[in-house]
Amino acid sequence: MGSCGAVGSVRARYLVFFQYLGTDFNGVAAVKGNHRAVGVQNFLEEAAKRLNSVEPIRFTISSRTDAGVHALSNAAHLDIQRPSGLPPYSPEVVTQALNTHLKHRSIRVLKAFRVPNDFHARHAATSRTYLYRLATGCPWPDQLPVFEQNVCWALQTKCLDVAAMQEAAQHLLGTHDFSAFQSAGSPAANTVRTLQRVSVSSGPVSPFVLPQESWRLQFWTLEFESQSFLYRQVRRMTAVLVAVGQGTLTPTQVKVILESQDPLGKYQSRVAPAHGLFLKSVVYDDFGKKE
Protein backbone atom coordinates (compact mmCIF):
# COMPACT_ATOMS: atom_id res chain seq x y z
CA MET A 1 0.00 0.00 0.00
CA GLY A 2 3.04 2.30 0.24
CA SER A 3 6.11 3.27 -1.74
CA CYS A 4 9.25 5.19 -0.87
CA GLY A 5 9.83 8.75 -2.07
CA ALA A 6 12.06 10.68 0.31
CA VAL A 7 14.48 8.32 2.03
CA GLY A 8 12.65 6.28 4.64
CA SER A 9 9.25 7.89 4.06
CA VAL A 10 6.14 6.02 2.95
CA ARG A 11 3.50 7.37 0.58
CA ALA A 12 -0.09 6.47 1.41
CA ARG A 13 -3.05 7.03 -0.88
CA TYR A 14 -6.53 7.85 0.39
CA LEU A 15 -9.97 8.06 -1.18
CA VAL A 16 -12.04 10.83 0.38
CA PHE A 17 -15.72 11.59 -0.03
CA PHE A 18 -16.76 15.22 0.48
CA GLN A 19 -19.78 17.46 0.01
CA TYR A 20 -20.26 21.13 -0.73
CA LEU A 21 -22.80 23.83 -1.42
CA GLY A 22 -21.55 25.13 -4.75
CA THR A 23 -22.99 28.65 -4.63
CA ASP A 24 -19.73 30.36 -3.65
CA PHE A 25 -17.41 28.35 -5.89
CA ASN A 26 -16.27 28.48 -9.48
CA GLY A 27 -16.78 24.72 -9.66
CA VAL A 28 -15.01 21.94 -7.82
CA ALA A 29 -11.68 22.11 -9.67
CA ALA A 30 -8.88 24.30 -8.35
CA VAL A 31 -8.65 27.80 -9.85
CA LYS A 32 -5.15 29.23 -10.24
CA GLY A 33 -4.08 32.81 -10.80
CA ASN A 34 -7.53 34.37 -10.34
CA HIS A 35 -8.15 35.76 -6.88
CA ARG A 36 -11.81 36.48 -7.66
CA ALA A 37 -12.62 32.86 -8.49
CA VAL A 38 -11.97 29.82 -6.34
CA GLY A 39 -12.75 26.12 -6.55
CA VAL A 40 -13.62 23.62 -3.82
CA GLN A 41 -10.28 21.91 -4.52
CA ASN A 42 -8.42 25.09 -3.51
CA PHE A 43 -9.84 24.88 0.02
CA LEU A 44 -9.28 21.12 0.30
CA GLU A 45 -5.64 21.42 -0.68
CA GLU A 46 -5.10 24.37 1.62
CA ALA A 47 -6.49 22.35 4.53
CA ALA A 48 -4.34 19.36 3.54
CA LYS A 49 -1.16 21.41 4.09
CA ARG A 50 -1.71 20.93 7.82
CA LEU A 51 -1.11 17.17 7.34
CA ASN A 52 2.59 18.03 6.88
CA SER A 53 3.23 15.77 3.89
CA VAL A 54 6.80 15.61 2.58
CA GLU A 55 5.42 16.23 -0.92
CA PRO A 56 2.60 18.76 -1.61
CA ILE A 57 -0.82 17.14 -1.50
CA ARG A 58 -2.93 17.33 -4.65
CA PHE A 59 -6.53 16.13 -4.88
CA THR A 60 -7.48 14.16 -8.01
CA ILE A 61 -11.20 14.81 -8.33
CA SER A 62 -13.53 12.04 -9.44
CA SER A 63 -16.28 14.19 -10.95
CA ARG A 64 -15.90 17.79 -12.05
CA THR A 65 -18.84 20.08 -11.37
CA ASP A 66 -19.46 23.57 -12.76
CA ALA A 67 -19.82 26.87 -10.92
CA GLY A 68 -22.93 26.83 -8.75
CA VAL A 69 -23.42 23.04 -8.86
CA HIS A 70 -23.58 21.24 -5.51
CA ALA A 71 -22.48 17.82 -4.31
CA LEU A 72 -24.04 15.61 -1.68
CA SER A 73 -21.04 13.34 -2.18
CA ASN A 74 -18.12 13.83 -4.56
CA ALA A 75 -14.83 11.92 -4.29
CA ALA A 76 -11.10 12.39 -4.80
CA HIS A 77 -7.85 10.60 -4.11
CA LEU A 78 -4.77 12.14 -2.53
CA ASP A 79 -1.31 10.99 -1.50
CA ILE A 80 0.22 11.76 1.89
CA GLN A 81 3.92 11.16 2.45
CA ARG A 82 4.86 11.47 6.11
CA PRO A 83 8.44 12.14 7.29
CA SER A 84 10.76 9.18 7.81
CA GLY A 85 9.82 6.88 10.68
CA LEU A 86 6.21 8.07 11.00
CA PRO A 87 3.40 5.63 10.17
CA PRO A 88 0.62 6.56 7.71
CA TYR A 89 -2.33 8.45 9.13
CA SER A 90 -5.49 6.52 9.80
CA PRO A 91 -8.45 7.43 7.53
CA GLU A 92 -10.23 8.84 10.57
CA VAL A 93 -7.36 11.22 11.30
CA VAL A 94 -7.31 12.39 7.67
CA THR A 95 -11.05 13.10 7.79
CA GLN A 96 -10.86 14.98 11.09
CA ALA A 97 -7.78 17.00 10.12
CA LEU A 98 -9.26 18.15 6.81
CA ASN A 99 -12.54 19.20 8.42
CA THR A 100 -10.74 20.98 11.24
CA HIS A 101 -8.64 23.10 8.89
CA LEU A 102 -11.14 23.76 6.09
CA LYS A 103 -11.60 27.52 5.84
CA HIS A 104 -14.99 27.41 4.14
CA ARG A 105 -18.03 26.12 5.99
CA SER A 106 -19.80 25.11 2.78
CA ILE A 107 -17.43 22.13 2.41
CA ARG A 108 -17.34 19.00 4.56
CA VAL A 109 -15.29 15.82 4.28
CA LEU A 110 -17.57 12.84 4.87
CA LYS A 111 -15.23 9.86 5.05
CA ALA A 112 -11.80 8.63 4.00
CA PHE A 113 -10.51 5.19 3.00
CA ARG A 114 -6.96 3.89 2.58
CA VAL A 115 -6.60 2.61 -0.99
CA PRO A 116 -3.83 1.02 -3.11
CA ASN A 117 -1.31 3.44 -4.60
CA ASP A 118 -2.51 2.71 -8.14
CA PHE A 119 -6.14 3.55 -7.31
CA HIS A 120 -7.60 6.41 -9.37
CA ALA A 121 -10.69 8.25 -8.13
CA ARG A 122 -11.94 9.17 -11.61
CA HIS A 123 -11.15 6.02 -13.58
CA ALA A 124 -12.22 3.54 -10.90
CA ALA A 125 -15.73 4.93 -10.40
CA THR A 126 -18.40 2.47 -11.55
CA SER A 127 -21.40 4.76 -11.19
CA ARG A 128 -22.26 8.43 -10.75
CA THR A 129 -25.72 9.73 -9.87
CA TYR A 130 -26.88 13.31 -10.37
CA LEU A 131 -30.02 14.77 -8.85
CA TYR A 132 -31.85 17.83 -10.18
CA ARG A 133 -34.45 19.73 -8.12
CA LEU A 134 -37.34 21.68 -9.63
CA ALA A 135 -40.04 23.85 -8.08
CA THR A 136 -43.36 24.70 -9.73
CA GLY A 137 -45.98 27.28 -8.81
CA CYS A 138 -43.53 30.16 -8.43
CA PRO A 139 -44.48 33.07 -10.76
CA TRP A 140 -41.31 34.97 -9.84
CA PRO A 141 -38.00 33.52 -8.57
CA ASP A 142 -37.97 35.93 -5.60
CA GLN A 143 -41.21 34.31 -4.38
CA LEU A 144 -39.30 31.13 -3.65
CA PRO A 145 -38.23 30.77 0.01
CA VAL A 146 -34.75 32.26 0.44
CA PHE A 147 -33.44 28.89 1.68
CA GLU A 148 -34.39 27.27 -1.64
CA GLN A 149 -33.28 29.96 -4.07
CA ASN A 150 -29.79 28.57 -4.68
CA VAL A 151 -30.68 24.88 -4.62
CA CYS A 152 -33.53 24.42 -7.10
CA TRP A 153 -34.83 25.71 -10.44
CA ALA A 154 -38.03 27.72 -9.92
CA LEU A 155 -40.37 27.22 -12.88
CA GLN A 156 -43.10 29.75 -13.56
CA THR A 157 -45.46 27.01 -14.66
CA LYS A 158 -48.02 25.80 -12.13
CA CYS A 159 -47.61 22.11 -12.92
CA LEU A 160 -45.69 19.58 -15.01
CA ASP A 161 -46.89 16.70 -17.15
CA VAL A 162 -44.84 14.15 -15.26
CA ALA A 163 -46.22 11.19 -17.20
CA ALA A 164 -44.97 12.75 -20.46
CA MET A 165 -41.59 13.45 -18.86
CA GLN A 166 -41.31 9.85 -17.71
CA GLU A 167 -42.20 8.65 -21.21
CA ALA A 168 -39.57 10.94 -22.74
CA ALA A 169 -36.98 9.79 -20.21
CA GLN A 170 -37.34 6.21 -21.44
CA HIS A 171 -35.88 7.27 -24.80
CA LEU A 172 -32.69 8.32 -23.00
CA LEU A 173 -32.17 5.04 -21.16
CA GLY A 174 -29.51 2.66 -22.40
CA THR A 175 -26.42 3.08 -24.56
CA HIS A 176 -26.51 5.95 -27.07
CA ASP A 177 -24.40 8.60 -28.69
CA PHE A 178 -25.34 11.54 -26.44
CA SER A 179 -23.49 14.18 -28.48
CA ALA A 180 -26.79 16.08 -28.93
CA PHE A 181 -26.69 16.78 -25.19
CA GLN A 182 -23.05 17.82 -24.92
CA SER A 183 -22.11 21.47 -24.50
CA ALA A 184 -19.12 22.97 -26.26
CA GLY A 185 -16.09 23.69 -24.13
CA SER A 186 -14.95 20.24 -23.11
CA PRO A 187 -15.73 17.91 -26.02
CA ALA A 188 -15.17 14.21 -25.39
CA ALA A 189 -13.47 12.04 -28.00
CA ASN A 190 -16.11 9.37 -27.42
CA THR A 191 -19.67 10.62 -26.92
CA VAL A 192 -21.27 7.21 -26.35
CA ARG A 193 -22.57 6.77 -22.82
CA THR A 194 -24.85 4.30 -21.04
CA LEU A 195 -27.60 5.87 -18.97
CA GLN A 196 -28.42 3.18 -16.42
CA ARG A 197 -31.30 4.93 -14.71
CA VAL A 198 -33.40 8.06 -15.13
CA SER A 199 -36.38 8.99 -12.97
CA VAL A 200 -38.84 11.85 -12.66
CA SER A 201 -40.82 12.05 -9.43
CA SER A 202 -42.49 14.33 -6.96
CA GLY A 203 -39.83 15.52 -4.56
CA PRO A 204 -40.16 15.62 -0.78
CA VAL A 205 -42.01 18.59 0.67
CA SER A 206 -39.56 21.34 1.50
CA PRO A 207 -39.31 22.10 5.24
CA PHE A 208 -38.56 25.72 4.30
CA VAL A 209 -41.97 26.43 2.75
CA LEU A 210 -44.40 28.26 5.01
CA PRO A 211 -47.85 26.65 5.46
CA GLN A 212 -49.58 29.53 3.69
CA GLU A 213 -47.37 28.96 0.62
CA SER A 214 -47.46 25.16 0.51
CA TRP A 215 -50.67 25.09 -1.54
CA ARG A 216 -48.99 26.61 -4.59
CA LEU A 217 -45.38 25.37 -4.40
CA GLN A 218 -44.47 21.82 -5.37
CA PHE A 219 -41.03 20.25 -5.69
CA TRP A 220 -39.84 17.65 -8.21
CA THR A 221 -36.74 15.51 -8.50
CA LEU A 222 -34.96 14.16 -11.56
CA GLU A 223 -32.20 11.56 -11.15
CA PHE A 224 -29.69 10.30 -13.70
CA GLU A 225 -27.22 7.44 -13.20
CA SER A 226 -24.32 6.50 -15.48
CA GLN A 227 -20.69 5.53 -15.16
CA SER A 228 -19.82 8.90 -16.68
CA PHE A 229 -21.48 11.88 -18.35
CA LEU A 230 -20.59 14.34 -21.09
CA TYR A 231 -20.02 18.02 -20.32
CA ARG A 232 -23.34 19.51 -19.12
CA GLN A 233 -25.20 16.42 -20.34
CA VAL A 234 -27.39 16.24 -17.24
CA ARG A 235 -28.36 19.92 -17.35
CA ARG A 236 -29.23 19.70 -21.04
CA MET A 237 -31.26 16.50 -20.61
CA THR A 238 -33.05 18.16 -17.70
CA ALA A 239 -33.92 21.22 -19.79
CA VAL A 240 -35.39 19.06 -22.55
CA LEU A 241 -37.41 16.96 -20.09
CA VAL A 242 -38.74 20.13 -18.48
CA ALA A 243 -39.80 21.36 -21.93
CA VAL A 244 -41.76 18.11 -22.31
CA GLY A 245 -43.34 18.64 -18.90
CA GLN A 246 -44.39 22.15 -19.94
CA GLY A 247 -45.86 20.90 -23.22
CA THR A 248 -43.43 22.62 -25.62
CA LEU A 249 -41.86 19.32 -26.65
CA THR A 250 -43.31 15.82 -27.05
CA PRO A 251 -41.68 12.60 -25.83
CA THR A 252 -41.15 11.56 -29.44
CA GLN A 253 -39.24 14.76 -30.15
CA VAL A 254 -36.78 13.86 -27.39
CA LYS A 255 -36.02 10.63 -29.27
CA VAL A 256 -35.51 12.65 -32.47
CA ILE A 257 -33.16 15.07 -30.67
CA LEU A 258 -31.11 12.17 -29.27
CA GLU A 259 -30.84 10.47 -32.66
CA SER A 260 -29.89 13.72 -34.40
CA GLN A 261 -26.51 13.74 -32.59
CA ASP A 262 -26.59 17.50 -33.19
CA PRO A 263 -25.60 19.63 -30.16
CA LEU A 264 -26.53 22.83 -32.03
CA GLY A 265 -30.14 21.96 -32.80
CA LYS A 266 -33.10 24.23 -32.05
CA TYR A 267 -33.96 22.67 -28.69
CA GLN A 268 -30.50 21.54 -27.64
CA SER A 269 -29.43 25.08 -26.74
CA ARG A 270 -31.47 24.87 -23.54
CA VAL A 271 -29.40 24.30 -20.41
CA ALA A 272 -30.97 23.99 -16.95
CA PRO A 273 -29.49 26.40 -14.36
CA ALA A 274 -26.49 25.11 -12.42
CA HIS A 275 -27.96 25.81 -8.98
CA GLY A 276 -30.59 23.06 -9.22
CA LEU A 277 -28.03 20.32 -9.83
CA PHE A 278 -26.43 18.04 -7.22
CA LEU A 279 -23.87 15.29 -7.64
CA LYS A 280 -25.61 12.78 -5.41
CA SER A 281 -23.09 9.94 -5.29
CA VAL A 282 -19.95 8.39 -6.76
CA VAL A 283 -19.75 4.62 -6.37
CA TYR A 284 -16.77 2.24 -6.47
CA ASP A 285 -16.74 -1.55 -6.33
CA ASP A 286 -15.05 -1.60 -2.93
CA PHE A 287 -15.52 1.85 -1.43
CA GLY A 288 -18.33 4.23 -0.68
CA LYS A 289 -21.33 2.14 -1.69
CA LYS A 290 -23.26 3.45 1.32
CA GLU A 291 -21.97 7.01 1.17
Are 47 and 267 spatial neighbours (Cβ–Cβ below 8 Å)? no
Could you give the 3-state DSSP secondary structure of residue 130? strand
Question: CA-to-CA distance for 94 and 147, rounded, in angstroms?
Answer: 31
Are 275 and 233 spatial neighbours (Cβ–Cβ below 8 Å)? no
Are 79 and 15 spatial neighbours (Cβ–Cβ below 8 Å)? no
State yes or no: is 262 an active-site residue: no
Task: From the candidates 24, 66, 142, 161, give the one annotated as an active-site residue.
Answer: 66
Beta bridge partners of 225: 129, 197
CB atoms within 10 A of CB 248: 12
Question: CA-to-CA distance for 41 and 125, rounded, in angstroms?
Answer: 19
With 0-12 / 13-18 / 19 or more C-beta atoms within 10 angstroms meaning exposed / middle / buried, residue 136 is: buried
Q: Report the helix count and the strand count for the chain, using DSSP H and E.
A: 5, 11
> b or e along 3-23 (b: 16 or more beta carbons within 10 Å of the residue's beta carbon)?
eeeeeebbbbbbbbbbbbbbe
Are 132 and 221 spatial neighbours (Cβ–Cβ below 8 Å)? yes
Question: CA-to-CA distance for 185 and 144, rounded, in angstroms?
Answer: 32
Are 174 and 195 spatial neighbours (Cβ–Cβ below 8 Å)? yes
Residues with catalytic annotation?
66
